[in-house]
Each structure stands twice: as C-alpha cells, then as structure tokens.
Structure 1
Amino acid sequence: MEDIRAWTSLPGMFFDQAERLGEKPFLVARRQGEWRARSWRATAEQVLALAAGLSALGVGPGDRVALIAENRPEWAIADLAIMTVGAITVPAYTTNTVADHAHILANSGARLAIVSSTALAMRVLAAAAEVPARPDVILIDSPFAEAPPGITRHLWDEVLGRGRAEGDFAALRAGVRALTRRHTACIIHTSGTGGVPKGVMQSHGSILHNCAGAARLVHDLNRGIDQDEVFLSFLPLSHAYEHTAGLYLPIAIGASIHCADSIEQLAANMLEVRPTIMTAVPRLYETMRSRILKGLAKSGQAKRSLFSAALRLGGRRLDQRGRLGPLDAIADRVLDRLVRRKVHERFGGRLKAFVSGGAPLSPEVGRFFLSLGVRILQGYGQTEAAPVISVNRPGQERPDTVGPALDDVELRIADDGEILVRGELVMQGYWQDPVSTATAIDAEGWLHTGDIGVIEADGCLRITDRKKDIIVNSGGDNVSPQRIETLLTLQPGIAQAMVHGDRRPHLVALIVPEPDRVAHALGSRPGGVVIEHPSLKAEIAMAVEQVNARLAPVERIRRFAVLAEPFSVENGLLTPTMKIRRHLIRESHAEILDGMYEDRATARAARSRVDAM
C-alpha cells in the first residue's frame, strides 16, 4: 500500500500513480454502448493538456473554477487539471437552479466554469449572466449553446488542442511539486443553518488525510494484500463524500473507476462492472432492501423460510461477533450457499464492501444486509471534515454506531454532548465568511459538528441527535428547512409550516392555514387534528406547487398535512420569540409525519410475514 501521507497534493499523488500504473485502466465509461477505458497514462496526458489550456486562458494559482457535469471521465480530468495549475475547483450539483448557480459563481468569484451538457450549459450561462464578474465558460459537449453578451464561450476540445500545442508541461509539473498540503484544493458549497450555501475550503492535506484513513480500511478488507480494486461511481462527484471516497481514494490505492450510466441503470451496471467496493448513501440500501422483500413476498414458502433463517442466524452471528454453536454454524454455511450467495450475485459477485455515508443509516437496514453477508461499513462525516470522520471497521461492524475515528483524528464530546473533531481533515474555513468559520472552529482547532453523540467503551461513535436544524435526507443531501418554510409562509393562505425529512427519502410538510381560510372553508374551527376539507386542501396544494417550482428537486415537498391547530407559545410548539420547536412538533405529530411516508399497516403486515418465516 502506498504511503499516502508522503504526498503533498492531490495532482502530485495522481501523476505519481499514473507513472507507476501506466497502461492499466483508470477511468471507464460507456460510449456507444460499450465500456471504454482510459488508461492512467492517457488520463495524465489529458490532464496536462487541459491544464495547459486553462493556463493559456489565464487561469492560475488561487483562481476559482466552477465544475458542473455528470459523473464522467471529463469531471475527474477537469478537477485534476484545475488543481494542476494551482487553481481551486468549485463543484456544483447538476440539479442546481439558475439562482443556485448564480450564488455559487458570485460567492466564489469563479473566473471560469466548465460545463457538460446543453441543458446544464443553458442554466449555467443564464446564471453567469447575472453575476457581476462574468466567468468564461468551457462547454464539454454542447457546442451549440449560445453565450449571453459579455461571456466568452470555449469548447473543450479546442482548449485541449491549444494546451497540447502551446503547453509548457515541465513548468506545470514543477508547479505541482510546489503545491503543499496547506494549499486549498476545492471549495464545496453546503447549506448553512440560515439556508444560504457556504463554501467549505478543503485543503489538499485534508483530503489526503481522509484518503489515508480510508485506505487503511481497504487494506484491512484485503487482509494486508494489495489487490486491484474496481469502484462503481454513481453519487454526484460534486458531493464531498464522492469527491473524496469515490475519486481520490481510488487514485490513492490505484483502483479503476467505472462511471455508472445512471441511478436507474445501477443494478444492471453492478452486474456488468462487478465492483469490489462501492460508496453509497442510505437511500440505496433502503431501496434494495425494499426490492428484496417485495420479491420475497412473491416467492414460495420454502424460499421465504430459508431467507428468514439466513436473517435470523446472520443476526445471531453479528450479535455474537461471529461465534455460533456447532449446529448453527453448519446451518449457517448451508444458508451461505442457498441464500447469501444469491444475494451477493445481485451486486456482481465480487463486492467486498459497501461504504455508507452522507446520511445516517438505519440500524435495521444495516443489520438486514450484514445478516445476509453483504458488508456495509457505515461512516460519519460532514463536508467540513473532508468529509469522513469515523467508520466501522471490517469484521467489527456495529450497525448502531458509525465506528471509531479514522487514524490521526481526535474526537471529543463537549459538555453539552456535541461531537467535536480535530485533525488535518478539518476545513480551512468557510470561503469569505470569517464569522461562520469562528463559530464552527474554536480557538483550539476543534470543529463543532452540530451533532450530538457518545463515544462507546470500544471507541465507536454513536450519533444520538442533531444540534442543528439542517435536514440530511437519506440520499445525503443537505436541505435547509427554514428557507422552504419561509417560502411556504409567503404564500397566500399559509400561516405556518414545518418541513420534515431528516433520514427520509423526500420532504413532507405540516401546514397551518390562515384562520380566515379555515373559517371560509369550514365556517368554524374543526375539532380534529388534520383538516381534510377538499377545497382548502386544493388551495394549499396549489400554494405548495408554486413553491416547489422555485426549488431544486431535493428541496420539493412531496406530501403535506393541513393542521387544524396552529403552533403557539401556549401549546409549547413556539418559543417566546416565535420560533418553532421542531423536536416537540415532531414528537406531537409523529403519527401524521410517519403516515406521509408509508402505509404503516401494510408495512407492519410485511414485517410480520418476514418475522413469521
């Protein structure tokens, strides 16, 4: 295993690995119906050519370059090229609205944006036209997208060609050698408690630090034997989790990266690619578990009985740290062949581990897969920590915890229960926001995570609550409920709103209508908790749709309930300063909130069928 601690920059690590690995496949994507690989050497040549092209366009050390594209080889090439010239990558989600892009471009002061498809280019070009310092735009594969006045448009192939013709590659490599672990590598925007995205400055050292800790896990998975790993990348590379664990960790260990066709094609891609390691968020595991149980419900009694036995014995083995009695051990080995091997084949047959992060994984879901022999290593982190802080170790999985801290990471629990983190992984601060930076990182260098937890006797961290109000859905997306609630209450007819969705696949809302709308619809205040009056619900639905039209997909409200009683100081659901008490509202309206996610009677019946097998 390479000593990742010896590298001083991300492009320096990449070029060293490219020199060592040469013609071995590195970046793989489907083109014209076939998986086609770029070797390490070919990728390095493209990185240098693009870096030279960026330099010819005036991009230099410290400049910010926005990157908006789907997961594809060009994303990695652009990211590495930006850093090769000493500039700073500013990734942005492909799902961002024009307003989101405009904020990121303006906040970062990006002098250039690299964009892939025509649809994305239209939004980014519109955003670029709104910011004071209009950036140039490089279009990867949208040559017909017209740029607004004042914005210079470049084509990807032309920039590469210019770089090949004019580039001083020796000077570029010398510049890479001059980079240190303290230089800023990227600015990744994440939502703050006020809803305004803040730019997290991650250094080369913070990401390398993460890679070193994660590489230790891979080493343990392989029991100390270096092996060629195959990653299947489908989470957005603009997400800090995938940026580190899905791009730079594979570079650090010399793995190949396959870019998934789409989330819809992921199951088929796993069978084709046969990955050995995958990073994913809880939503994927929840979906897979649901599909497995639905398929099981259609099976015969014998198959259901075997599956139930595999779950039961696997859970017992998990609880007893691998120790089973003689008869159970024999039965368990038989179930490995009859049940678990078939489950394993659904993921390609070579998978050593899923790494779960980006949001909390339900212990029930984690236990389900571990009992079936599918290893899920749940971790914990945040963008401000590059982003991995802790993760379960192979062979020591505890689905109720997020494992011990990575190597060389200090963890401490503050007097109020907040989890504090210190080490090279901690961000340099929020871009151009010293006040928020001082709030997040104290004078002793401790990052205040905003999460509440305890450190168990074995060193594993267990998250117990959230100190901050940011919603992290089961896909790992950070969403500010306050922003959405403000937009809702600005709509005619809505007096109050609370948005809910932490650890859930989508957002729902509790909505209190204005009293006059209730009186007009019903004549008097209803006696029930939830108002089901058709015309009033239809009016609220129209208001919700008006708000949804202004939001990114992950921020949209999928379902809502109309409440009869408002949140008030008297009923304890408002503070004296008129702020909603989220935890109390969630407790008092738990049944309503849960009911907007599933048919609980059906879910209970399904669980009973499985338990009875």
Structure 2
Amino acid sequence: MFLERVERHPERPFLWARREGAFHALSWQETADRVARLAHALTALGVEPGDRVVLVSENRPEWLIADFAIMAAGAITVPAYVTNTSRDHLHILENSGARAAIISTARLARAFLPAAHQSDALGQVIAIEEPRLRQSINAEIHLWEPSLAAQSGSLDLLRDRAAALGRRDVACIIYTSGTGGAPKGVMISHGAILANCAGGMDVLEEIGLAGHRFLSFLPLSHAYEHSAGQMLPVAIGAEIAYAEGIDKLAPNMREMRPTVMVVVPRLFEMLRARVLRQVEKDGGLRKKLFDRAVALGTRRALGGPRLSPRERLEDRLLDLLVRARVRKGFGGRVRAMVSGGAPLNPDVGAFFMALGLPLLQGYGQTEAAPIISVNRLTGAKVHTVGPPLKGVEVRIAEDGEILVRGELVMNGYWQDPQATARAIQDGWLHTGDIGHIDADGHLVITDRKKDIIVSDKGENVSPQRIEGMLALEPEIGQVMVYGDRKPHLVALVVPDADWLAGWARAAGKECDLGSLAGDPDLKAALDVAVARVNKRLAPVERVRRFAIAREPFSIENEQMTPTLKVRRHVITAAYRDVLEGLYGTRSGQAPAGETKP
C-alpha cells in the first residue's frame, strides 16, 4: 500500500511538521528512503521477522517512518503511550517480549529507560534525540540519524518483506487503554488494517479521495488514530500534518487547513461550551444571528421541517455572516470530521453540523482494528454511530450485546488465549457494548455492558447518557455517575474550568478546585445545574446527590484514557469513600448537593 503510493507520486508532499518556525514537508520518496534505511538498521541490530519493537513517540513524521520500517523488517510494532509511567512501560516490555525499542525525546526516555533496564528481552534502543543518561542500562542505545546514515535507502528489502507478509500476519500489538483494568495486547493483522482502510475509503468516496490533508493530533499509539489518522491517509495518498500539540491545535488548523480530522467527543464538548460562552458574552445582534444560524442549520442538517424560500435565503446569508467565520477557525477546508473513541452527545454533533462542520460519529474498538461503523455525510443521524463499514457484519445478541464479524477482527490477545476465547466465539467478536440496529441499518449504542448500572430494584440505567447530558451544562466540565445495586444515583462532578474561574472571581474567592470542593456556595451553584438536567430525566435516572471532585479527571492522574474516556474503575477507587458516603454509609463524606427527585 505504502510502496504503491511512493511509486505513483514520489515527489508530492506527504508528512508535514513544524521545523525552524514553519511547517515543512517530506515527500513520499524522502519518507520511503528513511523507512528503508531504518528497516536496514533494525535488521543490522538483529531484529528478525516476528520480533516485537516498542515505539514511544509523540505524533511526528518519525512515528510513521518507524512504524513502516518495523513492518518492513518483518517485525511487529508495539506502540506505547507517551503518558506511560515506567511501570506501564515495564508491563508492555515484559508482556510483549520486545527485542528492540524506538524512542523520541529525552523527556520520554526518562520514563522508558528505567523499564528498559529491567527488561530481560530488550537489547537495542534507537533514540531519535539523545537521551540524558545518569547511569548505564542493560541495552545498547543508538542514535537515529547515524543509524539511518549508515544504511542503504534501497527499497528492495521493503518489497521483498512486503511480498512475504500474509494478511493474517500480525502488523502491530496495541495495548488497550485500560478503562476497566490492566491493558491487554491486541494483535491486529495486516489484513485487518487493510479492511479498515477499504471501509474508510468507501465512506470518503462521497467527498472524493483526492487532495486530502489530515491533521494528526490524537495519540498514534491508539488504534483509532493509527488506522484512521495514519493508515487511511496512506491508502488514499493524502498528506498528513502533525499538530504541535493540543494546545496549538487551533493555530495549526488555521495554518495547515486540513480537509479531514479524526477527533474525540471531549474536544468538541469543550469547544462548544467556549463558543456558547463567547456568544453569550457578545450578546446583542451577534447572539441573535448565531442562534438563528444554529436553529436553521439544525433543521437543515437533521432533516427537520423544510425551510421556506424566505428561510433558505436567510440561511444562505447566515452562512456568510456566521458559519463562514466558524469554518475559518478550522482552516476553512474541512470536509469531514470523524468522531470516535467515546460516545458523542447528539446535541454536540447537531450543534457543529448546524454550523457547517460535518462532525460524523463512528464506533469501534481496538479489537476491531478499530472502526466498525460510521455515519456518512448523506443521511447522517447524530444519535447513531452510522451503518457498519463495507465488509463488516454486525448482529445483536439476545442480551443486546453488539457482535462483529469480518477481517477487521483481531487475531486475539497476545499471550492470553483464555481472554481471546471469551472475546471471539464462533468467529464473532463480543464487543461488550449494548445497542440495537435501527430501521435504516444504523447502529445505536446504549452503553458498555459492564458500565450499565442496575438499581437495587433491578432497573437498568445508562450512565453515559446521563453523564453526557450533565456535561453539556455550562457549569459542569466532567462527571461520573455511580450507583450500581443502590437505591438511587449519585455523581462525582468536576466544574467547568472557565465557568469556575468566572464564578470564583465574582464570588471573590481563589480559583482552586482543591479548596473550593468544600464550598457550600459552589455546591449550591452546581446543584442548580444538576437539577436542570434531572427535570429531563426519568425518576430512576436522576442524580439525587453529588460530590465535587478534588481535581479534574486527566490522563496525568490516570483517571482518563489518552482518548479522554473516563476510567471508571480508577475514579471509583480514588473516591470510593466519598461516593459511598453520599448514601450515608461512610463517615467523613465530601460536600454534596442534594437534588429533589
């Protein structure tokens, strides 16, 4: 796939990254030369077909180069998150039995090299930037540039190894993000990746496959960005621009003007909240125009009542006055934004579609390489995750669990045949998600099977739906609902950071969540937001009490995954006494709001 693109348009720009103050591109041929040299270097270091090579790097051109070089050497890429601790790295090294590793920066080396020192199998490390070692380690360290310079850029090795690979051969082992426990290594085959790419190309056919530029900012160590943000662009010959980080995403979008973005819901939840706050602050005519643009755009995008001739004219004017400004903030060329990794609240999807940004929700999991279904631009339904990809079979089990079959399904869990046997039965992947297929063939996700809350009366409740509604309130940034086998629901709430700053300023208080968690005035303000949502919920779904978290959920405190999904088991363990205290079963409970049924 990669070599075909190199031969077809070798001199076209391919990988963009900022260097010396500006974005510069490597061509397809330049990239292939580096891939070949690194593949030769790995082979010279003793890496053999089937060996595992750990890759620890932020998103940058070298990530793709390393990934394809590892595969070109016949080995298996084992991506690791840049947020991993030494303990996390050691688990992956020991579980995978990796023989070699590639690491980017000295900062990342500080967490990785202590684990490398303890690993029995790891013998070789290639460092893109020179690490600052305080002591020697039990592995040889080689620098990236000299390693590449010492090797040939001949593509013959790549062609020979590519020809020897079968579709069932393992391309990579991606460790799950661990929302429910210890990460497991998911073996993804070359065929699974190609099947996902074929499905993605079928989806993009509607907007054309030529002239695309992807902006890569989600972690490439996650299967979602790896397939949709790296492999799919390669399959269609698109350019990839690497964002400098989430904090630079806005200026990078304006400068690089992407046509396709792979995104996660949390980013757009925060963006929607900021846009609405700014509109409220502007007030007057600007607010009226914005509200009208959203109202008409929602009707048009979601198939509401048809616009009258006068409304169509009004809608076109609002497109110039309002929506064009919003699109410009994303670079002005976006043709598709695919949301995955976590559930997208339908209100968030409708909001951005109404503003002329095609935010399409999809669904998948690492065990399916990972994309299972996605909405199309035509006929998108924001409350669904779209129809299955081409070549993917989906059926619903008697208990409502979503089952998936096709070449995209993983080979299994690395060195865990028992877990593999539980996950794949008679060729069907048991996803652990609950849902149904609607009359149009669109898949609707209800919740994770293991996350469903069952009340003490036996009633099933979806926490994700309630959390999604609460998180759209301007006062609330993050929330986790709790209450399995309990008489009612409670929640742990993190105030929205911008809202909290404004509230603290108006109240003359220091904006520090740790000290404000016990503030009765803050509790009362948040109680109003929870009560607003409770009015729209069934009695069994209402949050009766809540506690204020001591700090936001984050990747750093391990309470969120790298794709910003809540890690319930980690949060529950950290706040178990607080949550149980909301039922009056523990002493020393944290401040909590009391909402009326």
Give the TM-score normalised by structure 2: 0.78
1:187 aligns with 2:173: yes
Query: Paired residue for 1:285, among 255, 260, 268?
Result: 268
1:450 corresponds in structure 2 to 432
- 1:316 to 2:299 alignment: yes
Structure 1 residues 21-60: aligned runs within 5 Å: 21-60=9-48
Q: Is structure 2 residue 281 aligned with structure 1 residue 295?
A: no
Between the two proteins, the alignment pairs up a number of residues equal to: 507
1:84-483 counterparts in 2 under 5 A? 84-145=72-133, 148-164=136-152, 169-191=155-177, 195-222=181-208, 226-320=209-303, 323-442=306-425, 444-469=426-451
Asked if 1 retains the 8 angstrom alpha-carbon contact of 2:53 and 2:100, the reply is yes
Once the two structures are superposed, residues 66-88 of structure 1 have per-residue CA deviations (whole angstroms, 9 ceiling, x without a partner) of: 00000000000000000001100
- Determine the C-alpha separation between the residues in 2 that align with 1:321 and 1:256: 36
Q: Which residue of 2 aligns with 1:580?
A: none
1:488-542 CA-to-partner distances (Å, cap 9, x unmatched) read xxxxxxxxxx99799x99xx99xxxxxxxxxxxxxxxxxxx9899xxxx9xx97x
- 1:150 aligns to what SS in structure 2? coil
Instruction: Show structure 1 runs of 4+ deviating over 3 A.
Output: 143-149, 191-194, 469-475, 498-502, 529-532, 547-568, 591-595
For residues 460-511 of structure 1, the C-alpha deviation after alignment (integer angstroms, 9 at most, x for no partner) is 0011121024999999xxxxx9xxxxxxxxxxxxxxxx99799x99xx99xx
Confirm or deny: 8 A CA contact 1:281 1:356 kept in the other structure: yes
Deviates more, 1:558-567 or 1:103-112: 558-567
Give the conservation status (yes or no) of the 8 Å contact 2:214–2:238. Answer: yes
In the TM superposition, what is the alpha-carbon distance from 1:204 to its structure 2 partner? Answer: 0.5
| Residue number in structure 2 paired with 1:17 | 5
- Per the alignment, residue 523 of structure 1 pairs with none
Does the Cα contact within 8 Å between 1:193 and 1:468 map onto a contact in 2?
no
Whether the 8 Å contact between 1:51 and 1:81 is mirrored in structure 2 is yes
SS at match of 1:312: helix
Q: Which one is further off, 292-301 or 235-244?
A: 292-301
What CA deviation, in whole Å up to 9, does each residue of 1:428-447 have, x standing for no partner? 000000000000000x2000
CA contact (8 A) 1:65 1:111 kept: yes
Q: Matches of 1:339 and 1:193 in 2, distance apart?
A: 39
Please give the alpha-carbon distance, in whole angstroms, between the structure 2 residues aligned to 1:312 and 1:109: 56
- Aligned-residue sequence identity (percent) comes to 52
Q: What letter is aligned with 2:302?
A: D
Report the Cα offset of residue 90 of structure 1.
Answer: 0.1
Aligned counterparts of 1:594 and 1:177: Cα–Cα separation in 2: 65
Alpha-carbon shift at residue 593 of structure 1 (Å): 9.2
In structure 2, C-alpha distance between the alignment counterparts of 1:388 and 1:553, rounded to whole Å: 21
The answer for unaligned runs of 5 or more in structure 1 is 1-12, 476-480, 482-497, 510-528, 574-588, 596-613
Moved more, 119-128 or 147-156: 147-156
Change (3 A) 1:563 1:186: closer
Question: 1:278-307 CA distances to partner (integer Å, 9 max, x unpaired)?
Answer: 001011111211121121112131111111
Identify the match of residue 61 of structure 1 among 27, 49, 53: 49
1:231 aligns to what SS in structure 2?
Answer: strand
Alpha-carbon distance change, 291 to 549 in structure 1, aligned in 2, over 3 angstroms: closer
Q: Which shows bigger deviation, 429-438 or 185-194?
A: 185-194
- Cα RMSD of the aligned pairs, angstroms, is 3.5
Gaps of 5+ in 2: 453-462, 472-479, 481-489, 498-512, 515-543, 562-566
The answer to whether the 8 Å contact 1:413/1:420 transfers is: yes
Once the two structures are TM-superposed, the CA of residue 338 in structure 1 deviates from its matched residue by 1.3
Report the alpha carbon displacement of residue 353 of structure 1 after superposing the two structures with TM: 1.3
Once the two structures are overlaid, the 10-residue window that deviates more, 194-203 or 355-364, is 194-203
